Structure 1
């Protein structure tokens, strides 16, 4: 009898546990179902086992079918031996991020395409444009074919193109080049394409393109001491304009060397040298050359426009009629003076954060160069000329064009995934930038790169010194006369350039 009672009790206990278990399971299932139905779009962290167009770090992959390509040959790049920052050759990994990224980029290109990269070099900087063109022309006309691709100082490659020595990268045989990809800046491709022909390219493929971005350097100590506005807030609130820049420069001057003269060694709101005045021209949205509605090259109406005239008036007043700023001509003083803490602002390439601004006592920030006014849609970043343009020589063998286009595309995409992060994320945005806001500003700076064929082809058009000279010599009042002179000369030079493009 007792056994029967115990058996019944045991059955009841087991049944109770089963009910509790089933209830808990149903509750968990209901909660899971509710979680699934409330998932926010884009917040799904479940593993995606399908195909992806990005790598493990989230960088977009190229579309070159390298799993089916194996060219089994050496591809030789002719590059400029006097390049300002190495971007081509790395013999081995050393632990330095940029060097190692170049090494890994080259190795990836070789492995993916089954090639060996070869390199030969010759001078091509601003003093050697003509020598570079002669070297390329001699190699082509002699049939030597000592190189398959070219990468050189921007003005040297542009001059090579204007001499009919570059192949059209938009030719259907260059089938693997995809200029819709993020490693090719939209503005460069758009502006450099003339009559459906494109003879050179740049972007992430050139490390020097990032080194050469013009930025505005801000002395944080002077900002704090003078209770000036926060420059990051000005940028974020669309108030970082020419007018605000000039206002902040007012009253900064101190005769620090005590000689009673306005000269180098004093404290200024702003100091810069001749070539570093270019951001003021381009920051206003101006260009030397643009295209009409039919895509034809022309002298840009903005070249002699009201914004440039007003900009010259503002600069001439600040630099020549007040003590707020000073222009030092071709001699470079502003880098050391900013490094020594004597300037509120200066404008220069991003690279001087690495090479010149080394003082432990200097507390500085980096922001985009200011806008002309608040109505302007975006900031504008101009690059210094020593960046690299890449191209294919005109005498390339027709059967080699698909391969050469594949090499350029893979070279650029691997640079985008390996070299740009090392240079931009690790070096420019982290190692040499002193605050998070400056690192954030670099994104704005890079997103707004501009390109001007009048600048890139300056060696075969009208040069690029007119605006600089008007600032340095305090002759902004004669700008309209200067433009009238160019209206007689520049169209003829553009006709010659278009003829060279059509012949290519």
Structure 2
């Protein structure tokens, strides 16, 4: 069963790994004196964390863009997190996923005459401090144990500001314009010409953390409600439609005269799955000024309306906050969400795509949707990614930054050419997709993936989840006053962030 679960997870990761990252931003006004903005869409800036990964113009053979370098049997040691060990370190054991990753490893080793080794440490959020201290300790001690470090984005990336990693824009063998690197991530973390962490096809976990909406088809069937596929595909899947559907199905299933945990709710979500509504509505916290520096945006009428509509909705019986609801019962949040969704206890569920694995044995059908637009006039969907994906870096204590960059480039390019297409083919055979419409919507979601600048610097700036906090806990109508009370502090944090990279 363990291998079957791992197989399922790999298929999901790979099926999503061909996804691009288009740009974002429905207009708001700059807080530093700009206009208050309307609902017209802003033109994405060159560094907006959301530009599209352009496909290669011609199909390149493996390693064709890399130099003919032999490293004389050099050992290249990489720090990886235990929770995503299968992204890098597998054995030849007959499991199709493990075998493909193993083949990539051997191809890189043979091509460049190196030995790839891996140091495995617990690296989930619960082990954040320990994982960061492992990296700090080796680098600050001048220890060259790790030639490459990888890890969860919101654990490794915050170390950028501490000067522990090499600037990969200066590395000899890495080309971050290639399609095996996530251009949106590179652009977003590029401050003052420094890119110290990268996200690419050497790892696959970035794409399993796309925020999506699952819907229970049985709940809709019982009420003769049409599936929202057509609305989604025609660009008409909006916040208003989702909230209206949620309110229309809410029901007292047990007949006790009140709506409780075991009754039917319209939407189940928690803070991490409420925040995606912000970007989905075409909203942003910052924009670039004429000097290429990010400045705060004054909340627009569009933002205030979306915030207050969701704020009011979250106070109705149609919404269930899974964090507060299930933690009181002593059950972990996401597994409880999965089980109640299977039982038809809510119509919509906000989670990341990897949650689909827990639904594979669901007896009734379910569908997948992007987070809704603010309105039909919005030009496109915006699908954010939960900050648990893998990023990579080269420690300044590594014996050779160029050699480390060469191996990162090789792993990513080979992943792009062999690992990802292989698994994508498997996924396309229908492991998860239950109907043609779901397949089309999955394509729609992949084309809408987006990374928000403030979320990339979650630890440094600390206000990327402000919207969710307001929606779920604040008094309605107070968004602007809360923004104003935090404005100077946030502006100072932005200034401090840029200074750290001077």
With the shorter chain as reference, the TM-score category is 0.7 to 0.9
Alignment partner of 2:76: what SS? strand
1:75 CA displacement: 0.7
Partner in structure 1 of residue 27 of structure 2: none
Taking the TM superposition and a 5 Å limit, the aligned residue runs for 1:57-76 are: 63-76=64-77
Equivalence for 1:191: 188
Q: Secondary structure at the match of 1:74?
A: strand
| 2:219 match | 222
Alignment of 1:293-332 (within 5 A): 293-299=290-296, 301=297, 304-321=299-316, 323-330=317-324, 331=327, 332=333
Q: Offset at 1:447?
A: 2.4
| Alpha-carbon contact 1:194-1:295 (below 8 Å) kept | no
Cα deviation for residue 229 of structure 1 reads 3.3
| RMSD of aligned Cα (Å) | 2.4
Contact (CA 8 Å) 1:210, 1:424: kept in 2 or not? no
Question: Residues 138, 53 of structure 1: CA spacing in aligned structure 2 closer, same or farther, 3 A cutoff?
Answer: same
Distance 1:491 1:344, change over 3 A: same
Q: Deviations over 1:64-87 (max 9, x none)?
A: 33545445211111122344x731
Cα gap change, 1:482 to 1:102, in 2 (>3 Å): farther
Distance 1:256 1:352 in 2: 26
**Could you give the per-residue CA deviations for residues 167-197 of structure 1, whole angstroms, max 9, x where no partner exists?**
11111xx232222222222321221111111
1:393 corresponds to 2:387: no
Contact kept in structure 1, 2:279 and 2:384, CA below 8 Å: yes
Tell me, yes or no, if the aligned pair for 1:168 and 1:198 is still in contact at 8 Å: yes
Aligned to 1:54: 59
* C-alpha contact (below 8 Å) 1:320/1:474 kept by paired residues: no
How far the C-alpha of 1:460 sits from its partner, in A, is: 2.5
Q: 1:423 to 1:366 in 2, by over 3 A?
A: farther
Which one of 201, 204, 207 corresponds to residue 204 of structure 1? 201
Cα offsets for 1:136-195 (capped at 9, x unmatched): 221112222110111111111121102111111111xx2322222222223212211111
1:239: which partner in 2?
236
Deviation (angstroms), 1:53: 4.2
Task: Name the residue aligned to 1:378.
Answer: 380
Q: How far apart, in 2, do the equivalents of 1:470 and 1:279 lie?
A: 13
Residue 495 of structure 2 aligns to a residue in which SS?
A: helix
Q: Equivalents in 2 of 1:158, 1:289: separation in Å? A: 20
**Counterpart for residue 46 of structure 2:** none
Q: 1:488 to 1:481 in 2, by over 3 A?
A: same
TM-score (norm 2): 0.81
Counterpart residue number, 2:15? none
What is the SS of the residue equivalent to 1:467? Answer: helix
CA contact (8 A) 1:290 1:453 kept: no
Higher RCO (CA 8 Å, separation ≥ 6 residues):
2
Contact 2:143-2:397 within 8 A present in 1 as well: no
Change (3 A) 1:192 1:429: farther
SS at match of 2:384: coil
Shift of 1:456: 2.6
Distance 1:495 1:243, change over 3 A: same
Structure 1 contact 270–344 (Cα < 8 Å) conserved: yes
Is the aligned partner of 1:342 residue 2:354?
no
The reply to whether residue 120 of structure 1 matches residue 119 of structure 2 is yes
Q: Paired residue for 2:26?
A: none
Q: What is the TM-score with the length of structure 1 in the denominator?
A: 0.80
Q: Which moved more, 1:421-430 or 1:344-353?
A: 421-430
Q: How many residues align structurally?
A: 437
